[in-house]
Amino acid sequence: MNVPSVVLNALGGLALFLYGLRILSSALKRAIGERMRSLIETLTGRACRGVIVGALTSGILQSSSMTMVLLIGLINAGALTLRQGIGVMLGSEIGTTLTAQIVAFRIGRYYLPIIALGFALSEVFRQRKLGDVGRIMLGFGLLFLGMSLLSGGLEGLSQSPVVLRLLESCGSNVVLGAAVGAGVTAIIQSSSAMTAMIIAMGAAEILTLPAAIAMILGANIGTTLTAQIASIGSSLSSRRLALSQLLTNVIGVVAFLPLVPLLARLIAATAASLPRQIANAHSLFNVAVTLALMPGVGALVWMTKRLVRGMESSATLTPQFLSSSLLSTPSVALTQARREVLRMADLSAEMLLSCQRGLLSSNRSELATVFETEEAVDSLKRAIAGYLDRIPTDALSVREEGRLHVLQHVTADIERVGDQAVNIAERGQALLKNGLTLSAEANEDLADMFEKTYAFLVQAIQALQQDDGKPAEVAFDQEGEIDRLEGLYKERHLRRIESGTCDPKSGLLFTEILHNLERTGDHALNIACDVLHCP
């Protein structure tokens, strides 16, 4: 056996397979990816619906890992709950088996005409639907060509006694087989590619069905690494979702491993060819695990919350009060927009409180909550601004039109309050990361500045909520105090640094936090000013 030749042929076939899968996935996502995203957002109310949507999404996108990354993004943005995400994740386990079923086909010489036709369509109709169809065909063709080269390259392994003994061991020692499957999948970051390699080894007759099943079980664990990586730095619910995928596959693999010999005999009766048997084993495992765990979505939610502790952000990306159907009644639409603006204001105020709790108690999770809420606040600002622009002004009274302009102005200031909170949270993280601490006096000054600023902001929001100039006038009186305290506390901190009471490294961060709080007061003043001058 010429080892370099076998390795190069196998790697070349695998690379071509992965490239074809990437083209296919990209073309499908381009053609219907946004529809899939909308489908996930709207049809995941129940676990069974989520499973169906997850199966469709990963089947179309040709990747359960891509579906998981999409889910993490949606949950991180607040568009989905953890429970909904787990339902879709379970469904994606079924959808990903489609790739194995496809590559188990033997289409022989037909893949070359498919590649040629797909390439021609993709080049001639680049920005049209036929171009997407061509890219899909090109992806399928390259995928099958890669499988053919991979299978041919792996046939050389049948001449290696060492490789054959290892593969035989994977059949008799199912734990070893699962470990090999998990390890290789984690390295190449694709369970579809690993499954294709297993099917190719089956086609090359160098792998037994029990060994193939054991390696496929392991591949289901290895593929969870993508979601684990994608969830780093994401929201609490996103990290819990990634953990739930790992738990799902580990539970399924542990339950199936002792049954591999029995399962092999059962699967052998489903098809004559070994590649199809391997694909059927893959499908059976994923369908069985999903159906078994679907009634236990609540238990998975409970378990992940116990393992990854913390308080989830209540911020949601989706507007709760904006409805296009109300635009035909402008007065009602204006009232609903005002309710959404007030909800957005409450979220921004809560971000400021999270900054205070995180800084004064060195609580990293409180600071992380600020970043989770920021995306929802930014998204709500865009949605509200677009909605307000669509309200017909010719059907509004003079007073209502004035309120419309107020909402347009204050929405921007409320969003900037959230930006200031993010700046504060970043400074707080820098303090914790560098192991810097503030003296008791500095913490007292910060606590007072936070309380005054928060009270000022709440007063301005109250003026907006009540549509009353009196709370706005009270807010005006408080703004000067915020400016005075910023200057006073900066001077005090400089004296503490000079006397050695506070670390000089924390000085800049402390003064920047004070400045961000003062800027928050300026935005609160703008809100009060808009309310006060409303007709």
Structure confidence at residue 284 (pLDDT): 92
Cα 175 to Cα 181: distance, rounded to the nearest angstrom: 10
Structure confidence at residue 145 (pLDDT): 79
| pLDDT, tens digit (0-9, with 9 covering 90-100), for 264-273 | 999 999 888 8
Q: How confident is the model at residue 312 (pLDDT cuts 50, 70, 90)?
A: low
Q: How confident is the model at residue 349 (pLDDT cuts 50, 70, 90)?
A: very high
pLDDT greater at residue 235 or residue 398 = 398
Mean pLDDT of the chain, nearest integer: 80
pTM score of the predicted model: 0.57
pLDDT greater at residue 356 or residue 46 = 356
- Which amino acid is it at 179? A
- Residue 190 Ramachandran class (φ > 0 left, ψ -120 to 50 alpha, else beta): beta
Structure confidence at residue 482 (pLDDT): 82
Q: How far is CA 262 from CA 213, 256, 285, 475, in A?
A: 11, 10, 13, 75
Q: How confident is the model at residue 423 (pLDDT cuts 50, 70, 90)?
A: very high
Span 336-362, average pLDDT: 89
Q: b vs e for 335-346, b when ≥16 Cβ sit within 10 Å of the residue's Cβ? A: ebbbebbbbbbb
- Residue 242 Ramachandran class (φ > 0 left, ψ -120 to 50 alpha, else beta): alpha
Cα 199 to Cα 194: distance, rounded to the nearest angstrom: 9
Say if residue 190's pLDDT is above 60.
yes
Could you tell me what percent of the chain has a pLDDT over 70? 80
| pLDDT, tens digit (0-9, with 9 covering 90-100), for 138-173 | 887 887 777 677 766 666 555 566 666 766 677 678
Q: How far is CA 247 from the centre of its chain?
A: 18
Q: Give the residue carrying structure tokens 């496809």.
A: 102
7-16, 213-222, 423-432: segment of lowest average pLDDT: 7-16
Q: Please report which residue ranges of 361-397 form alpha helices under DSSP H.
A: 364-390
- Which amino acid is it at 59? G
Say whether 254 sits in a helix, a strand or coil: helix
Which among 202, 353, 330, 363 is positioned nearest to 275, based on CA atoms? Answer: 202
Which among 198, 238, 239 is positioned nearest to 218, based on CA atoms? Answer: 198
Structure confidence at residue 1 (pLDDT): 47
Work out the number of other CB atoms within 10 angstroms of the CB of residue 48.
Answer: 14
Say if residue 61's pLDDT is above 80.
no
Q: What is the dihedral of CA 218, 221, 226, 231, to 10 degrees?
A: -170
pLDDT greater at residue 81 or residue 488 = 488
Cα 196 to Cα 28: distance, rounded to the nearest angstrom: 20
Query: Hey, what are 20's tokens?
Result: 């074809």
pLDDT greater at residue 465 or residue 326 = 465
Query: Hey, what are 409's tokens?
Result: 């102005």
Phi, psi torsion values for 127, nearest 5 degrees: -105, 20
Q: Which CATH number fits domain 324-532: 3.30.1490.20, 1.20.58.220, 1.10.150.120, 3.40.605.10?
A: 1.20.58.220
Structure confidence at residue 186 (pLDDT): 82
- CB-based burial of residue 166 (10 Å sphere; 0-12 exposed, 13-18 middle, 19+ buried)? middle
What are the start-end ranges of the E strands in 167-308? none
Say if residue 88's pLDDT is above 90.
no
Structure confidence at residue 479 (pLDDT): 65
Structure confidence at residue 256 (pLDDT): 92
Span 46-60, average pLDDT: 74
Name the residue ranges covered by the structural domains of the chain.
Answer: 3-307, 324-532
Could you tell me what percent of the chain has a pLDDT over 90? 11
Please name the residues in contact with 466: beta carbons below 8 A apart, sequence gap of 6 or more.
none
Say if residue 295's pLDDT is above 70.
yes
Helix axes 330-360, 398-433, angle to 10 degrees: 20
